[in-house]
Amino acid sequence: MIDRNMCILGLGFVGVTLATVMADVGFHVIGIEKRDEVIESLSSGKSYFFEPGLSTQLKKQIENGSLQISKQIPQDCKATVYIITVGTPLNEKKEINLESIQSVCDEIALHLKDGDLVIVRSTVKLGTTRSIINPILEKTGKRYEIAFCPERTVEGQALAELRSNPQIIGANQLSTSIRASQIFQWITPTVLRVSDWETAEMIKLIDNAKRDVHFAFANEVARMCDVAGLSADEVLHLGRFGYVRGDIPNPGPVGGPCLSKDSHILVQSMEELGMTPKMTAAGRQVHEEQSKQVATFLHQLTKKNFPEKMIISLLGIAFKGKPVTDDIRGTTAKPIFDALKEEFPHAEYWGYDPVVQPEAIKALGLQPKTDLKTAIKGAHLVLILNNHPQFSSLPIEALALEMARPAIIYDFWSQNHSKKLNLPEGVQYIALGNHKFAKEKL
């Protein structure tokens, strides 16, 4: 069987980028999305989120008919392959919510034909394909195949990575594995077939949990240096210079739609099997305690000489700065803002991001600022939350002249060196992991 007609369910970041690339390489794709505003945007050939090059490619595929957008699977759908790319958020208990997975499987079941292939691309709890997806499809009485093929791209580079990253293919039958491999070989030159659904599910969770733990150690180094009165900037940069095993990354807030939840999903998966992955859980805890620790530090530093009704400006609202994105899902700006409000309940809060739209900043409860200068002018406390290129080249000395007095610039990403800055009287620059340079009197 030659599969040329695809139906992708869920047009979030993963679904839209995949649909666009698949249409570009020659597949006919119909994308299913429930949100009216998203359907309207995509149908006009415009991406509703920032991803370099996406809108241009999307518009091209919409106009030539290779990609169509619909609110539900059409009755005359010709797809032989259904690809699930819906989100799997955490609930208030930080447990995975699989309602969207169940919902799209129910919809697929209404249209499933003998011989169809269902590909799961969403991040799920270990065993979800076997225990939830397969039973729903099994009730149809149809002959079908299932493969788990995890998404592995990074925001800001998705179109390129879809065409270059190795694709994992997890299936319980060799014929299904080969069929799914033939589809993805049109996109990327390397496919890796693994033994079963669970192995592919586990690879996705392990990939992100590993990165989460890796970053957590860097943040713990920063915390240790702050407590010990050392400079994490010096410890890390000079410690790894020219040393082949010195691969500790820079400290900084870690969030986003994947890293903020996938460690929790992995922990939940393992605890249901009677085992707690302690290192994975501890790493996520390090990240989630960081906001409170920094807010408490800043409160202690400012409680004597700063006004009660100060202005606090948050720079960098997207969950990351490099590669550039406007995604605020899982952004650490939210817990940092919440922690600051506990310590500074009477402050006025501003927000600025080079990419995130003002409406999204306002929705978080911040007063949006449209440019860097107005986001800093008159502020008593400025926090740099992500590593967008604009923040790594800030003219800090000039901008500091616009701030109130006294004032602090707190950089979560240590993008400047406080000892080298010539700041005006009453303004100081402090970085995460470099609290030794903090001065109580300004």
DSSP for 61-117 reads HHHTTSEEEESS--TT---SEEEE-----B-TTS-B--HHHHHHHHHHHHH--TTEE
Q: What is residue 325's predicted lDDT score, i.e. its pLDDT? A: 96
What integer is the mean pLDDT of 156-179?
97
In the numeric block, the tokens 């809108």 are attached to 55
Q: What is the CATH code for 5-195?
A: 3.40.50.720
What integer is the mean pLDDT of 187-207?
98
Token output for 251: 């400290």
Distance between the two ends of the chain, CA-based, in angstroms? 73
Query: From CA 373, how far away is CA 368, in angstroms rounded?
Result: 13
Among candidate residues 171, 168, 175, 166, the one with its CA nearest the CA of residue 195:
171
Amino acid at 272: E
Decide if 5-195 and 196-442 have a common fold. Answer: yes
Query: How many Å separate Cα 30 from the centre of its chain?
Result: 25
Residue 249 per-residue DSSP state: P
- C-alpha dihedral sign at 231, 407, 395, 370: positive
Among candidate residues 442, 269, 298, the one with its CA nearest the CA of residue 381:
298
Domain boundaries, the chain: 5-195, 196-442
Tell me the per-residue pLDDT of 43-68, one tens digit each, with 9 for 90 and over. 999 999 999 999 999 999 999 999 99
Q: Are 365 and 288 in contact (CB under 8 A)?
A: no
DSSP 353-377: -SSS-HHHHHHTT-EE-SSHHHHHT
SS3 152: coil
SS3 11: coil
Q: Is the pLDDT of residue 138 over 90?
A: yes
Query: From CA 62, how far away is CA 55, in angstroms rounded?
Result: 10
Give Cα separations from 38 to 33, 58, 198, 425 (angstroms). 7, 13, 32, 49
Query: From CA 318, how far away is CA 122, in angstroms rounded?
Result: 22
Q: Mean pLDDT for the chain? A: 96
What integer is the mean pLDDT of 8-23?
98
Proportion of the chain above pLDDT 70, given as a percent: 99
Q: Is the pLDDT of residue 255 over 90?
A: yes
Q: What is residue 54's predicted lDDT score, i.e. its pLDDT? A: 97
Is the link from the previous residue into 74 a cis peptide, with omega within 30 of 0? Answer: no
Q: Are 329 and 286 in contact (CB under 8 A)?
A: no
Q: Are 13 and 53 in contact (CB under 8 A)?
A: no
φ, ψ (nearest 5 deg) of residue 149 = -130, 90
Q: What is residue 91's predicted lDDT score, i.e. its pLDDT? A: 95
Q: Is the pLDDT of residue 442 over 60?
A: no
Tell me the per-residue pLDDT of 359-388, one tens digit each, with 9 for 90 and over. 999 999 999 999 999 999 999 999 999 999
Tell me the per-residue pLDDT of 284-323, one tens digit each, with 9 for 90 and over. 999 999 999 999 999 999 999 999 999 999 999 999 999 9
Among candidate residues 431, 332, 434, 335, the one with its CA nearest the CA of residue 382:
431
DSSP 122-133: S---TTHIIIII
Query: From CA 199, how far away is CA 180, in angstroms rounded?
Result: 16
Phi-psi sector, 379: left (phi>0), alpha (psi -120 to 50), beta: beta
Residue 278 makes CB contacts below 8 A (sequence gap 6+) with none
Give Cα separations from 146 to 59, 171, 190 (angstroms). 31, 7, 20
What integer is the mean pLDDT of 375-403?
95
SS3 154: coil
Q: What is residue 419's predicted lDDT score, i.e. its pLDDT? A: 65
Tell me the per-residue pLDDT of 410-427, one tens digit each, with 9 for 90 and over. 999 998 876 678 899 999
CATH superfamily of the 196-442 domain: NAD(P)-binding Rossmann-like Domain (3.40.50.720)
φ, ψ (nearest 5 deg) of residue 297 = -60, -45
What integer is the mean pLDDT of 103-125?
98
Q: Is the pLDDT of residue 118 over 90?
A: yes
φ, ψ (nearest 5 deg) of residue 384 = -95, 110
Q: What is residue 246's predicted lDDT score, i.e. its pLDDT? A: 87
Q: What is residue 418's predicted lDDT score, i.e. its pLDDT? A: 65
